A and B are shown apart, each in its own frame.
Chain A
Amino acid sequence: MTGAAGSGRRVPAGHVPVPGPRTWPDGTGGASAGRVQGPGPGVALLYEKSRPGRRAGTLPSYPLAKVEVPEGLRRSAPPRLPEVSEPDLVRHFTALSARNYGVDTGFYPLGSCTMKHNPRVGERLAALPGFRDLHPHQELDGCQGALDLMWRLQVLLAEVAGLDAVTLQPAAGSQGELLGLMLVRACLAARGESGRAEVIVPDTAHGTNPASVAMAGFDVVPVATDARGNVDVGEVRARVSGRTAALMLTNPSTLGLFDEGVEELTRLVHDAGGLCYYDGANLNAVCGISRPGDMGFDIVHFNLHKTFATPHGGGGPGAGPLAVTAELEPFLPVPVLVRRADGSFALEREAERPLSVGQVRGFPGPFGVLVRAYAFLRAWGPGLREMSQAAVLNANYLLARLRDAYELPYDRLCMHELVLSARNLKRDHGVSALDVAKRLMDYGFHPPTIYFPLVVPEALMIEPTETESKETLDAFADAMLAIAREAQTDPQLVRSAPHATVVKRLDEARAVKQPIVRHRFDP
């Protein structure tokens, strides 16, 4: 067996909420006090609240001609939509939202997701009418301000990356990865080196890296992690060759460790004729301190929705811009945003960009995410490095408080996140990382990422971000330490957690094998 692909974390699917009492465990102090009281046992589905003829709104009748639908295309029965009144509708979704947990509800240390606070000033700016009401087909002379913002964001991202040119086109980190590998292919072809087919990917990589490599038509060459948690330089040296197209590296790695051999790695790959791709998933650790371009990387993707506000659910979907060297700039996807000599902005298309890999997305954006990222970067300004310093400090504070209760697979200063192992609890008390994660919910915290990276058994991957106070970090550390004690004194309590949530321990295997993905009208 070997861990090969995919993130370890899975979202349980297909479970109907089970009614149950809401009782907080004794002795957990105020940790759970921040939780919103749920709507009571069980929330009925809208379909179950439906009564024939009820409406949340009525439309006036219009004197329009009746559209004649051909007989064969007509429905035989009206659609079975739920029929409810407006108050019932509002209460239904309010009840569901009160059961949600997000960064605005409490601490959310989901490793590698950078669930930081989403500043409200960004919301205000994204809601400005000139931004909010833009149409995707707006003529260019009517959206110069929006293009100006995109231009300025590109300039800032190029500076953070230490590279020459930026495209805002990719819609997510995963699309940035795929586009980056398309640029590698285009660049190698221009060099007359199309035969290079291998991309080196460390065993700590996010699952998207090998997936993107395969999707882009390259072969994955996995390399191992050494005893200090760095990429094994000797193995890379043995693996690079005339077949090497690129190296994909996340730095700091998913172990939360800065790769001490990074300059040697990029030099080895460059000397062999390959390109170096920096996965920006963990960029929150190094902004304004070290730049991927200075480490020797040719291509960098950003996750604007991690590093520069708008975490999952904090303002919408993601954005995965790419920064590249001057050599790769001609291959960037069209349309390319340019500033003319008179200061106005224009978009260059295929005719002006003959070497472009083409368009990878219909429109720029999500534009609101770009506005929030720009606002975030301007708010920090030249002090951006303090953001990363605080993120690293917070992670090391948790590391110092938790290192005696949990195993520390690599005993080094960490960066923006720390990876612990519950292997000691599993060996001594039969309490797994999953059990610890479930028990944390009883203490009112979102669990960390678990079972990833795959090279650490019983992994707990904790990313506090820079926006948490010492009090919050202490409350989380206290809960983690309490759970480690409970594993000794009452392991069954931990193994059967959570006890204080609306939905108890899920049968995750059954949820995968027998998912209930739709409402059944007939019993």
Chain B
Amino acid sequence: MESYPEELLYHPEHDWARVEGDEATLGITWHAQDALGEVVHYEPPEIGASIVKDEGYGELESVKAVSDVIAPLSGEVLEVNLRVTEEPELVNDDPHGEGWLVRIRLSDPSEAETLLDAAAYRASLASA
């Protein structure tokens, strides 16, 4: 069901970040997976790669299209969710949990201040 956890921060391009200290876990939102349709392939970045806020860091392919995944925050990739590469449908089933995509070490934690909270993200969806 459509819901947006309060503890996550949101990027207007429909990505979320769970910030824990100087690390963060990233993924796409419920709205993004709903718009994409069933996800069939996840092309993750390499571990150690640098990703840049507002730019693509990986690809998700659905039955509709191939889409770049936009980084809500900048940092170095510490871990990619290999389960999602095996079972891409996790992104549809649990986009804010088991369907996470990467874990990064933040290069500029202050970037988080530019992201939306759950209420602001919900409002942005309603006005779209």
> Is A451 interfacial (CB-CB < 8 Å)?
yes
Across the interface, A513 reaches (CB within 8 A) one of B40, B66, B69, namely: B40
Closest to A6 in B: B66
> Is B1 interfacial (CB-CB < 8 Å)?
no
Q: A512-B40, A513-B88 are in contact. Are A2 and B65 (CB under 8 A)?
A: no
> Is A10 interfacial (CB-CB < 8 Å)?
yes
> Is B38 interfacial (CB-CB < 8 Å)?
yes
B-side contacts of A5, CB under 8 Å: 66, 68
Closest to B37 in A: A434
CB pair A3–B41 under 8 Å, yes or no, is no
Q: A451-B64, A509-B38, A513-B40 are in contact. Are A1 and B32 (CB under 8 A)?
A: yes
A-side contacts of B56, CB under 8 Å: 2, 4
A-side contacts of B60, CB under 8 Å: 1
CB pair A8–B70 under 8 Å, yes or no, is no
CB pair B63–A512 under 8 Å, yes or no, is yes
> Is B93 interfacial (CB-CB < 8 Å)?
no
> Is A491 interfacial (CB-CB < 8 Å)?
no
CB pair A509–B89 under 8 Å, yes or no, is yes
A-side contacts of B61, CB under 8 Å: 512
A450–B65 alpha-carbon span in the complex (Å): 11
A450–B70 alpha-carbon span in the complex (Å): 24
> Is A315 interfacial (CB-CB < 8 Å)?
no
Least CB distance from B10 to A in Å reads 12
Across the interface, A454 reaches (CB within 8 A) one of B14, B37, B65, B70, namely: B65
0/1 interface trace, chain A 481-523, chain B, CB 8 Å (1 if under): 0000000000000000000000000001100110000000000
The total of Cβ contacts below 8 Å across the A-B interface reads 57
Which positions 419-455 of chain A face chain B at CB distance < 8 Å? 434, 450-452, 454
Count of B interface residues, CB-CB < 8 Å: 27
Interface residues on A, range: 10 to 19
CB pair B40–A509 under 8 Å, yes or no, is yes
> Is B28 interfacial (CB-CB < 8 Å)?
yes
Least CB distance from A56 to B in Å reads 39
Closest to A10 in B: B63
Which positions 1-28 of chain A face chain B at CB distance < 8 Å? 1-8, 10
Least CB distance from A509 to B in Å reads 4
> Is B124 interfacial (CB-CB < 8 Å)?
no
Across the interface, B64 reaches (CB within 8 A) one of A4, A10, A513, namely: A10
> Is A102 interfacial (CB-CB < 8 Å)?
no
A509–B15 alpha-carbon span in the complex (Å): 22
B-side contacts of A8, CB under 8 Å: 64-65
Which positions 177-198 of chain A face chain B at CB distance < 8 Å? none
Q: A508-B38, A512-B40, A513-B40 are in contact. Are A1 and B64 (CB under 8 A)?
A: no
CB pair B63–A508 under 8 Å, yes or no, is yes
> Is A457 interfacial (CB-CB < 8 Å)?
yes
CB pair A1–B13 under 8 Å, yes or no, is yes
Most buried by B among A1, A10, A451, A457: A1
A-side contacts of B89, CB under 8 Å: 509
CB pair B70–A3 under 8 Å, yes or no, is no
B-side contacts of A452, CB under 8 Å: 65
CB pair A4–B63 under 8 Å, yes or no, is no
CB pair A451–B65 under 8 Å, yes or no, is yes
Least CB distance from B95 to A in Å reads 11
> Is B67 interfacial (CB-CB < 8 Å)?
yes
Closest to B35 in A: A457
Q: A457-B35, A509-B89, A513-B40 are in contact. Are A1 and B65 (CB under 8 A)?
A: no
B-side contacts of A513, CB under 8 Å: 40-41, 88
> Is B116 interfacial (CB-CB < 8 Å)?
no
CB pair B68–A2 under 8 Å, yes or no, is yes
Q: A512-B41, A513-B40 are in contact. Are A4 and B66 (CB under 8 A)?
A: yes
Closest to B87 in A: A513
A24–B111 alpha-carbon span in the complex (Å): 58
> Is B52 interfacial (CB-CB < 8 Å)?
no
A467–B2 alpha-carbon span in the complex (Å): 45
A4–B56 alpha-carbon span in the complex (Å): 9
Which positions 24-70 of chain B face chain A at CB distance < 8 Å? 28-29, 32, 35-41, 56, 59-61, 63-70
CB pair A1–B70 under 8 Å, yes or no, is yes
Closest to A5 in B: B66
CB pair B28–A6 under 8 Å, yes or no, is no
Closest to B61 in A: A512
Across the interface, B67 reaches (CB within 8 A) one of A1, A7, A10, namely: A1
A5–B59 alpha-carbon span in the complex (Å): 10
A2–B35 alpha-carbon span in the complex (Å): 11
Least CB distance from A69 to B in Å reads 43
A7–B66 alpha-carbon span in the complex (Å): 8
Least CB distance from B38 to A in Å reads 4
A193–B89 alpha-carbon span in the complex (Å): 48
CB pair A4–B38 under 8 Å, yes or no, is no
Most buried by A among B60, B66, B69, B89: B66
0/1 interface trace, chain A 157-194, chain B, CB 8 Å (1 if under): 00000000000000000000000000000000000000
CB pair B38–A1 under 8 Å, yes or no, is no
Q: A509-B38, A509-B40, A512-B40 are in contact. Are A3 and B65 (CB under 8 A)?
A: yes
A464–B73 alpha-carbon span in the complex (Å): 45
B-side contacts of A434, CB under 8 Å: 37, 64
B-side contacts of A451, CB under 8 Å: 64-65
A6–B14 alpha-carbon span in the complex (Å): 20
Name 8 A/B residue pairs within 8 A (Cβ), A-sorted: A1-B35, A1-B60, A5-B68, A6-B66, A7-B65, A457-B35, A509-B89, A512-B61
* Residue positions of A touching B, CB distance < 8 A: 1-8, 10, 434, 450-452, 454, 457, 508-509, 512-513
Chain A to chain B: the 7 pairs with minimum beta-carbon distance, closest first: A512-B40, A509-B38, A1-B32, A4-B68, A508-B63, A451-B64, A1-B14
* Residue positions of B touching A, CB distance < 8 A: 13-15, 28-29, 32, 35-41, 56, 59-61, 63-70, 88-89
